[in-house]
Structure 1
Amino acid sequence: MTVQTDPLDDVLALVGATSSLSAGLVAGGEWAVAFEPPPAVKFNAVRRGSCLLLADGNVFELRTGDCFLLTRPVAFTLASGPDVTPEPARPLFVAAGEDGTARAGQGDDVFLIGGRFGFGERAQELLLDALPPVVHVPGGNTAAAAVRWALEQIDAELRDRPPASTLLTEHLALVMLIHLLRLHLAAAPPAAGWLAGLADPVVGAALRAMHGKPAYAWTVADLAAAAAVSRSTLAARFKQVVGQGPLDYLTQWRIELAGARLRNGDHTVATIAREVGYGSESALSTAFKRVTGQSPRAYRASRPA
């Protein structure tokens, strides 16, 4: 029986997603705060009130429960209105109190929490490039219930600070990230690429089969059977949606898995070759160099310990 898994799970695990809550922002009256381009994936969630987000040449209306992700290092502004002159964020957060919450304007009718997600070196190509620079997820619809739950738990942890609250809020933020990605992909799936394939019933079935058993000697016929279509249908549909053939994708994913093992472990190249579906070290080395331009040993040596 074919073992199937979730490619999004696999990619998030491969790129080593981590999270940290950085600070909050309380604001009221007329206010605007300009933020420098963040060095990592930035997120903010509106816990009270409403405001505007100006980023990447667009204006987004944010209401209570809304979240946004910045997947690129773009400058952005949070503001009460479009015509308020912004003040730089850095001095406000430097002057923040012990709770790390900055304040802007007069009053406290708006409250946001924010943080960052960190990823490994392959995240840009594998995940982030498939997403728009700004991902806005409204919190008012029923599909966002899980995001609201995670935010409520984060609020409680930040408010009461019980033991291990830092670790728990980091895990809750990762839960929120997964739900944000799910909601975005359901509402606006990419036009092409492996993320687009997840939303396609034919391509998605083949992707899950390959990710479930990446070392298996898959053929197009096997994958077509897993997707319950003909070989020609699968090949054409996979190429149309993902941009490459299914076996080319399988090779790419195996090399990603091998690269992660080379970066993060001390297994021999021969052992890694068997783990990812190559019969010998030389077979993996040939495929690895064709895809990455480096041999496995040179790749490992070029990465810091």
Structure 2
Amino acid sequence: MDPLSETLSLLNTHNSFFAGLKAGGDWAIDFPPPDGIKFNAIVEGTCWLMVQGVEQPIRLTAGDCFLLPRKRAFSLRSDLSFPAIHSDAIYRHAVNGIASCGTADEFFLIGGRFDFGEEARLLFDGLPPVAVIKSGSDQASVLNWALQRIAHELTNPALGNSIVVQHLGHIMLVQVLRIYLIQEGNTAPSWLLAISDPRIGATIQAIHADPARSWSVESLAKIAGVSRSTFALRFKQKSGVAPLEYVLRWRMQLATRLLKTNHTTISSIAQKLGYDSDSAFSHAFKRIMTCSPREYRERVAPISQQ
């Protein structure tokens, strides 16, 4: 399994939500910071997007998508000077998940929100406050297909609607991440950039295949086929963290999943991930997760039982 598929498969979707927006005339809507990862796609019409902390407004047209990987307020507007209303004012009257604003005959948007919890930090840390995916490329064809299907499901609800929309939403999320990776100018260090590099990606696959191994920079550099110093520098430039720091973070990603399984003891998790003692594992876990493995298990137990 490739690293992106593996990492997404490890993420627990605490909840997901999909909705639509139809608008027309002069309109402007303020949205609160979303819980989790938010993406929207324009089906019809055009609008302006404003994101908290981003200086310039962004013009979006039909087929464009945007991803908000951080908790930031944003606005959608037909006119930048028009006074905005709060999203609650229209979404409380939504029908089949679709809200209406103004004449509701010129603009159609669909949106999804995934709450992966703290486990998603590895995947989404390093991405900008907003990632915009423009329409028109060959790579966007799958995205556009999923976009049209979700739009159809939202406007024509039928049996099995919720599960179809959820799976289509996951397809759109993966495709947005794929397209973001190949767009020019996306060179800020991130996990996504690291796995797209052939040499660094090969070492990440090796770490994922054998997380309990006593990895060293030298052994990983051999897999990459470069010198130790070149590898260490390139790994940090691409991922934003040192190679052995990544090994630690990946182990803790696996640990959080295992800790949610009540029948797996902390000692067995420590051994499975290559730690000689419970205390060494606990120290490593607390460094990344800011709590002990036992505290983490107690905290997530109510969620896993829902």
Amino acid at match of 1:222: S
Aligned to 2:105: 108
Aligned counterparts of 1:166 and 1:155: Cα–Cα separation in 2: 13
Amino acid at match of 1:153: R
Amino acid at match of 1:121: E
Aligned to 2:178: 182
For residue 157 of structure 1, the aligned residue among 153, 160, 163 is: 153
Alignment check: 8 A CA contact 2:194 2:238 kept: yes
For residue 51 of structure 2, the aligned residue among 31, 52, 55 is: 55
Structure 1: which 5+ runs fail to align?
A: none
Q: Secondary structure at the match of 1:58?
A: coil
RMSD after superposition: 2.5
For residue 229 of structure 1, the aligned residue among 226, 238, 244 is: 226
Deviation of residue 78 (structure 1)?
1.4
Q: Secondary structure at the match of 2:231?
A: helix
Q: Secondary structure at the match of 2:125?
A: helix
Q: Secondary structure at the match of 1:225?
A: helix
Alignment check: 8 A CA contact 2:50 2:58 kept: yes
Structure 2: which 5+ runs fail to align?
A: none
Matched, 1:241 2:241: no
Amino acid at match of 1:31: W
Alignment of 1:254-265 (within 5 A): 254-265=251-262
Alignment check: 8 A CA contact 1:189 1:199 kept: no
Aligned counterparts of 1:41 and 1:286: Cα–Cα separation in 2: 29
Aligned counterparts of 2:46 and 2:100: Cα–Cα separation in 1: 15
TM-score normalised according to structure 2 size:
0.86
Matched, 1:41 2:18: no
Alignment of 1:211-222 (within 5 A): 211-222=208-219
Deviation of residue 18 (structure 1)?
6.0
Amino acid at match of 1:82: L
Alignment check: 8 A CA contact 1:6 1:211 kept: no
Deviation of residue 190 (structure 1)?
4.6
For residue 120 of structure 1, the aligned residue among 114, 117, 121 is: 117
TM-score normalised according to structure 1 size:
0.86
Q: Secondary structure at the match of 1:122?
A: helix
Deviation of residue 19 (structure 1)?
6.0
Aligned counterparts of 1:287 and 1:74: Cα–Cα separation in 2: 30
Deviation of residue 21 (structure 1)?
4.0
Query: Which stretch shows the higher mean deviation, 127-136 or 43-52?
Result: 127-136
